[in-house]
Amino acid sequence: MRISRRNFIKAGAAGTAGLSLSGPAVSRKWFKTAAAKDSDPSEVLKYTYHTPNCGGRCAFICHVRDGKLSLIEPNTWADPKFSTICLRGISEIERVYSPDRIQTPLKRVGKRGEGKFKPITWDEALTTIADNLKSLIDEYGSESVLISMSSGVEHDYKFLSHLLKTQWVCEQGIDVGLSNGLLKCLGGDDVYTYMQNEITDWVNSSTIIILGANPLETTITDSKFFMNAKEAGAKMITIDPVYTTTASKSNQWISIKPGSDVALLLGMISTIIDNEWYQEDYLVDNTTSPFLVRKDNGKMLRLHDNDEEDVKKNPHLIWDEKSESAKPYNTKGVKPALDGEFTVNGVKVKTVFRAIKENQKQYTLSWASEMTEIDEDVIFELSKDYATRGPAVIAWGFGGLDKLANSDIAGHAGGILGSLTGNFGRVGGGVGAVTHHASTWTAELNEWPLPEQFKETPLEVPTSDFREGKGSVRAVINVGNTLQQHFANMNKTEEWIDSLDFLVTIDPFHNPSADYADIVLPASTAFESEYDITNMQINRSHVLLAEKVIDPLFESKSDFQIEKELLAKFGLDKHHPKTPRDWIAHKLDSGDPALDGITVDSLIENKFTMRLNAPKEPYRGYMDQIYDTPTGKLELYTESFLEFDQSLPKYENPDEIVDEKLRKKYPLQFIQSRSRYHVHSQFNNVEWIRQFDGGPKLEINPKDAKSRGLKTGDVVEVMNDRGLMKAECKLTEAMRPGVVRMHEGWWTKHMIEGNLQTLTNDHFMKRQYDLRNGPVIPFNDTLVEVAKV
Amino acid sequence: MTRMGMAVDLNRCIGCQTCALACKMQNNVPMGMLWNRVLTESDEGIDGVQGVYPDVEKTYVPVSCQHCENAPCVKVCPVEATYKDENGRVLIDYDRCIGCRYCMAACPYNVRVFKWEEAIQNPNFSYGDPRVPDRKVGVVEKCSLCKELTDDGQEPRCVQTCPAEARIFGDLDDPESTISRYIRENDAEVLLAEKGTKPSVYYIGLNGGKVDV
Amino acid sequence: MSKSVKVNITIGVLVTLTLIGFSALAYQTIHGLGGTGMNNVVSWGLYIIMFMFFVGLSAGGLIVSSSATVFNIPSFKVVAKPATILSTVCVVLAGLFIMVDLGSPFRMLNLLLHGQFKSPLMWDVVVISIYLGINVGYLILMMMKNPNQKLLNAMSYIALPVAILVHSVTAWIFGLQIARAGWYSAIMAPLFVSSALDSGLALLLIVLVLLRTLKVFHVENSLITKLAGLLFIFVAVDAYLIFSEVLTMYYPQEASTMLVLNEMLSGSMAPFFWGEIILGLAIPLAILLFRKNRQRISLVVLSSALVVVGVFCKRFWLVISSFMYPNVGGSPGVTTGQYIPSNDPSVVNSIWASVGHYWPTLLEMLVVVGILSLGVLMFMALTRLIIGKEGVEKTNSEKTDLNVPLQEMPQ
């Protein structure tokens, strides 16, 4: 039995007078209490974990009394520091029983979006869906069906997409901009490019720069690691136009002009280079900075002047200072020059590092200061803190600048900053997305075998482009609230929805997307199931298992069951696992040594959480300094982006928010931010939470409010050329003048009129189609005007 | 003797309201009232800031029953329904309370709530710890330092669930307990020290109790 | 209309009002105090205000009748009966107001079973019980054909300090609470005594004039004038103490006290504060200062009515203003305990208040009106029982006793 740090009388103080409860005794006592409760038929304990897409995956012990979910407490993980919960997890007590639950399958009787339905039987619903899909697939091919998933739903309907060979998407184009840029340097296929090191490694960092992110509100369960790092002496610096909770808990808050993050990062690069704070050896050993670039066309110099891309067959060249000649970068015993210009076979070349230096000439400190509206000395000190205090982190992501059109350039610049300072593959280092605590030890899971002919159709175009008449989608199976949440510019989305032949929504709650559906299926929440064992995940270096907590409420069915029954209508359910337990057992049987001894049964014995057979220390990526790029090095120069003039990060404005002409008409930037109260559009209907955050409020600085004659509580119209919404406004000095904000995800029914997405910018940047994750939806790259109603 | 107490590190508190809802859940507190709430010093409403942009600041202060040693509420209760127990907790005998609300008038911290009428319960059944006593209409209720848990050697629910680990629970009478050391080493303060109530809830980072209006 | 018809109509109206009030009370007893304007910030309201008010009003009677003996003011003896009846009725009403304020009135017996004597409320229960006992004892003695004069005298000597104590203890319910800036004051007890004296005497004056007008009980003008003189002194003392208290609150400019004071001077409590200062103090003092005015019954009644209204205003601001600002301030404040479910998702339910507000609801007003009506009925019944019809003649025969010169009263 592990001693929980939470037992208030520590094992070490067991001898002291007073309550003679030592840690282990308390734990035993706890266990006894639990066992006693198990024997009481009116209250049973059930183990599960939280599934919505905050990434929390908090492990829960659920007390079920008289068949009702009555109390949720954090389960103790094998590594107890991860035992946690937040207000959203606790509020499930109410949410599971929400009046917004869809109780029976529904068939639309009104117009799409009108919200008029009649209840039908499961058989009628599933038959209708199957008939419609069959005829569409027959006529237009299986690619005419799109399964649109919310990551808030753990069961991902991949059997359906593979077996019916449909298209499948989950949140395309959202919060992937920075990752797009950073991946240029790191390689690989991590959609979101999380910080390389687990957040528990932050205690080893000296400087932590949080750029446009607010983890203390959005990733509440990581807050203890933030605090631990701060107490261990890390200098926490938050850069954000808005004074967020994270800003308030940091050692330093730097207010930045929205959209100018790229300029700040470029200014930092210049400052670090000018002051020679970069790590020369690191750059030479682990990055492509010594690689040679042709001065005439910007192409990288390789061993053979042909189209061979394979770096093994056609390696890049560096300038060997020993032999004073160009050599393949992977030649043993060479001493690559970091900086310089050379002539190789009559071709004038320079090192990548020289190219960076030249590129940076235009991005002086004073330029950066002017662009960002941050004082020069502040940027100077920030750069110095980042480069010279020791291991340092740049943490960003999921919102903020990630929802701007120039986020890929910021990602690339961040990669260069991390490289210059040797912060990749370093204890206490890292650059990447801070939220979701996804960097952990992990293990290979077994895939469920499907006959070879069953393969889903790859996504034809970025999902938003379906609305532009591209691709062949005619039917959408919407799992979650994807129609409202996953697209900007709602009016355009609605036109597309109207043009669809068939639309299904599967969700426990009657979310705004459900109103458009032809058939609505009531899914159970993750607490309900027909099966004893329901889900399994690897998270925070642990395997977490979930069991059924309560029976499905109303006529709902679990997503597993819905998928299985739907496949049965196509005669394909034989390929689907019989029970979630079979599936989980198969997944765990991958032979990965990290999973040795971890089975469904051993998990049940260990209170549904076991640590992977993995090293005890925090997970840290790239400690071997071998990157996922073709060269295995941090690739600072992206040859393939020469056509966009982005082989090195070049400053570009965001799409809309600095458009001076448009600003005359719509002078305010409209951002939607995540908050501690919701996860995207989930929990917005929970009354427990609405006691704190009652409804949509447009937050505005009192200066902007004054010039518009607004006071807190006034109803305002927020508008631009795309549309209009109405909501109450709230004056707060936390907002930067010129920026207005609303917590994201409010359902249309919570609004007075319109919706956040009626305003948002859906313009794609052309260059981003060539990036790993495709173009980013610039939700926050949106200008509006606000007026009193 | 054991004197149960709590220390809240305001430097760590992120105002997430998890403790408020954990308390609500554990103690079956209905809609419209909370035994535990998180305040910010501002007049902007919840989560507001002080100052003028960009010279702004924000401090969260969770407030629930302070379990005062010199508890005004205990003194004024005419029927001893509110009492100080042997572990230093201020508790209420909900079956004895006559609902005069004198304790609410006497409490300098506004941490007591009254059941004015049959409360709305969402969801509409009794959730939480079944050992927590029911409260009928017409009685005063408040934080008990999760008596049902602390009697059992566990921490109060707000301490267990605080995601930032900003709360420490323990024995204030034991000079070597973690909480006693924490209070000593961090110059912890109490709310409204000038009232002389000697709370058992300490705060780190209170800055002399700026939450006073 | 004959007198008896008028009386019957009056009784009919009063009984109806009483029944309405008690129906409201029944509703409140079943559903809880949620129908009142009280909440978790301002957790006491009209009932407690009326309790304080009526404890005070009961003062006039008993103090006048007992001072007659204690300080040998024979002229006061004349009005002993109506004064004591008034006093009794007021203290009974005060007790009723405490009862209707209880959230769990069925547990009142706990006061006897589990009395906790550190509580000023418990002190008040004891002192008010004694006070009520004395009043009732007085009444019984007065009803006797030949009351034991010694016992009467002894009772007067007990009654006076008990009366002072009743007001002091009621004051200490508030004045000993360090939690409330506007209450925590050493002169709260003297202040209550003075308010009790002026409002109690004022009410007695009104009642005496009323009884005389209704020809139930005769009082000489000279006594009215004399009592009016006394009222002037009481009001003056009250004004002096209030000034002293407000100055003490104002001078240090301490933040939490200033919040309360500003609420009184210019905030939501200003109508009550200035109502008291102007109606309850300034105007009556201005009128009663002049002997000529004191001799005009109408002006005396007017002044008395103003004093009663003024003291009610004072009770109001005293209770409410100190509740309004939680000591531990900040947003979002205190949960009010009120949550109104709504099917409309755009309705935002704020359960919070960072500044408390209170205004009595119709329910509270009906209960108060019902209890007041009951009080009037009780007064009528007791008057009929104790003074009866011969009251007028009897007092007429005693009028030769009215020989204490007014000049003895300080001007």
Residues near A767 by Cβ (< 8 Å), separated by ≥ 6?
A: A408, A641, A644, A646
Give the pLDDT band (50/70/90) at residue C320: very high
Q: What is the pLDDT of residue A68?
A: 96
Residue C102 has its nearest CB partner, among B40, B45, B99, at B99
Q: Is residue C226 part of a domain?
A: yes
Give the pLDDT band (50/70/90) at residue C145: confident
Together in a domain, A372 and A266? yes
Residues of chain B with pLDDT below 70 are 208-213
Interface of C with A (CB under 8 A): 332, 339, 345-346, 348-351
**Residue environment code for C71-102, b if the CB has 16+ CB neighbours within 10 A, otherwise e:** eeeebbbbbbbbbbbbbbbbbbbbbbbbebbb
Between B39 and A29, the higher pLDDT residue: B39
The ipTM, to two decimals, is 0.96
Most confident of A41-50, C324-333, C365-374: C365-374
**A694 contacts C346? CB cut-off 8 A:** no
**C330 contacts B195? CB cut-off 8 A:** no
CATH number, domain of A780, equals 2.40.40.20
Q: What is the mean pLDDT of residues A602-614?
A: 97
Q: What is the pLDDT of residue C345?
A: 66
Residue A750 has its nearest CB partner, among C332, C345, C351, at C345
Scanning C253-292 for CB atoms below 8 A from B yields 255-256, 259
Neighbours of chain C (3+ CB pairs under 8 A): A, B
Q: Is residue A705 part of a domain?
A: yes
pLDDT tens digit string along A744-769? 999 999 999 999 999 999 999 999 99
Residue B106 has its nearest CB partner, among C41, C107, C179, at C179
pLDDT tops 70 at residue A1:
no
Q: Is residue C272 part of a domain?
A: yes
Q: Does B44 touch chain A (CB under 8 A)?
A: yes
pLDDT > 70 in chain A, percent: 95
Q: Does B207 touch chain A (CB under 8 A)?
A: no
**B129 contacts A733? CB cut-off 8 A:** no
**A74 contacts B53? CB cut-off 8 A:** no
Q: Is residue B18 part of a domain?
A: yes
Q: Is residue C399 part of a domain?
A: no
Q: Is residue B136 part of a domain?
A: yes
Neighbours of chain A (3+ CB pairs under 8 A): B, C
Q: What is the mean pLDDT of residues C390-395?
A: 46
Give the pLDDT band (50/70/90) at residue A678: very high
Q: What is the mean pLDDT of residues C70-74?
A: 80
- Give chain C's count of helices (H) and strands (E): 16, 2
Together in a domain, A634 and A758? no
Q: What is the pLDDT of residue A9?
A: 33
Give the pLDDT band (50/70/90) at residue C39: very high
Q: What is the pLDDT of residue A36?
A: 42
**C332 contacts A685? CB cut-off 8 A:** no
**B46 contacts C119? CB cut-off 8 A:** no
Q: What is the pLDDT of residue C399?
A: 40
Helix-helix angle C297-324:C188-213, to 10 degrees: 140
pLDDT > 90 in chain A, percent: 91
pLDDT tens digit string along C259-268? 999 999 999 9
Alpha carbons C287 and C283: distance in angstroms, whole number:
6
pLDDT tops 80 at residue C1:
no
CATH number, domain of C26, equals 1.20.1630.10
Together in a domain, A701 and A638? no
pLDDT tops 80 at residue C344:
no
Q: What is the pLDDT of residue A40?
A: 57
Q: Does C35 touch chain B (CB under 8 A)?
A: yes
Q: Does C102 touch chain B (CB under 8 A)?
A: yes
Nearest residue in B to A87, CA atom: B18
> For residue A745, how many other CB atoms are within 10 A of its CB?
24
Which residues share a beta bridge with A187? A628
Q: Is residue A560 part of a domain?
A: no
Together in a domain, A733 and A632? no
Together in a domain, A634 and A683? no
Domain containing A215 equals: 177-291+361-439+625-644
The pTM assigned to this predicted structure is 0.93
Q: What is the pLDDT of residue C386?
A: 86
A512 vs chain B: nearest CA distance in angstroms? Answer: 22
Instruction: Indicate the number of domains in chain A.
Output: 2
Residue C346 has its nearest CB partner, among A691, A692, A750, at A750
**A690 contacts C348? CB cut-off 8 A:** yes
Q: Does C45 touch chain B (CB under 8 A)?
A: no
**A695 contacts C348? CB cut-off 8 A:** yes
Q: What is the pLDDT of residue C346?
A: 66
Residue B37 has its nearest CB partner, among C41, C98, C335, at C335
CB pairs under 8 A between A and C: 21
Q: What is the mean pLDDT of residues C51-74?
A: 84
Burial class (CB in 10 A: 0-12, 13-18, 19+), C392: middle
Q: Is residue A348 part of a domain?
A: no
Together in a domain, A279 and A422? yes
Together in a domain, A762 and A713? yes
Give the pLDDT band (50/70/90) at residue C347: low
Alpha carbons B29 and B144: distance in angstroms, whole number:
12
Residue A691 has its nearest CB partner, among C345, C346, C351, at C351
A135 vs chain B: nearest CA distance in angstroms? Answer: 43
Q: What is the mean pLDDT of residues A528-535?
A: 98
Report the range of poorest mean pLDDT among A24-38, A120-134, A581-595: A24-38
Domain containing C248 equals: 17-329+361-392
Give the pLDDT band (50/70/90) at residue C343: low
Residues near A40 by Cβ (< 8 Å), separated by ≥ 6?
A: none
**B24 contacts A688? CB cut-off 8 A:** yes
Nearest residue in B to A678, CA atom: B16
Q: What is the pLDDT of residue C172?
A: 97
Q: What is the mean pLDDT of residues A175-203?
A: 94
C331 vs chain A: nearest CA distance in angstroms? Answer: 11
Contacts 24+ apart (CB under 8 A), A598-607: A598/A543, A600/A533, A600/A536, A600/A545, A603/A536, A603/A543, A603/A545, A604/A533, A604/A545, A604/A547, A606/A78, A607/A47, A607/A61, A607/A75, A607/A76
A406 vs chain B: nearest CA distance in angstroms? Answer: 25
Q: Does C336 touch chain B (CB under 8 A)?
A: yes
A750 vs chain C: nearest CA distance in angstroms? Answer: 5
Q: What is the pLDDT of residue C98?
A: 95
Together in a domain, A764 and A676? yes
Neighbours of chain B (3+ CB pairs under 8 A): A, C
Q: Which residues of B touch A91 (CB under 8 A)?
A: 21
Q: What is the mean pLDDT of residues A517-546?
A: 96
Alpha carbons A648 and A637: distance in angstroms, whole number:
6
How many CA atoms within 13 Å lie on the side-chain side of A78? 21
Q: Which residues of C touch B109 (CB under 8 A)?
A: 326-328
3-state secondary structure of C260: helix
Phi, psi of A145 (to 5 degrees): -110, 130
Q: Which residues of A touch C332 (CB under 8 A)?
A: 692
Q: What is the pLDDT of residue C393?
A: 45
Computed over every residue of chain A, the mean pLDDT equals 93
**A243 contacts B49? CB cut-off 8 A:** yes
pLDDT tops 60 at residue C401:
no
Structure tokens at C268: 């939501």
Q: Is residue B58 part of a domain?
A: yes
Single out the residue in A644, A675, A700 at which a domain terminates: A644
Phi, psi of A439 (to 5 degrees): -80, 110
Domain containing B23 equals: 4-204
Together in a domain, A632 and A680? no
CATH number, domain of A222, equals 3.40.228.10
Residue C121 has its nearest CB partner, among B31, B41, B100, at B100
Q: Does B51 touch chain A (CB under 8 A)?
A: yes
Report the range of poorest mean pLDDT among A15-24, A379-388, C25-34, C195-204: A15-24
C-alpha dihedral, A120 to A122 to A125 to A127, nearest 10°: -130
Instruction: Indicate the number of domains in chain B.
Output: 1
Q: Which residues of B touch C177 (CB under 8 A)?
A: 72, 76, 105-106
Q: What is the pLDDT of residue C24?
A: 97
Q: Which residues of C touch B213 (CB under 8 A)?
A: 255-256, 259, 325-327, 329-330
Q: What is the mean pLDDT of residues A211-236?
A: 95
Q: Is residue C408 part of a domain?
A: no
Q: How far is CA A271 from the centre of its chain?
A: 30
A438 vs chain B: nearest CA distance in angstroms? Answer: 18
B123 vs chain A: nearest CA distance in angstroms? Answer: 5
Residue B118 has its nearest CB partner, among C32, C115, C334, at C32
**C118 contacts B101? CB cut-off 8 A:** no
Q: Is residue C222 part of a domain?
A: yes
Q: Does B181 touch chain A (CB under 8 A)?
A: no
Structure tokens at A353: 């590092």
Give the pLDDT band (50/70/90) at residue C348: low
Together in a domain, A254 and A373? yes
CATH number, domain of B122, equals 3.30.70.20
Q: What is the pLDDT of residue B1?
A: 80
Cα dist. C139→A55, A620, C157, C296 in Å?
A: 78, 91, 16, 31
Q: What is the pLDDT of residue B80?
A: 97
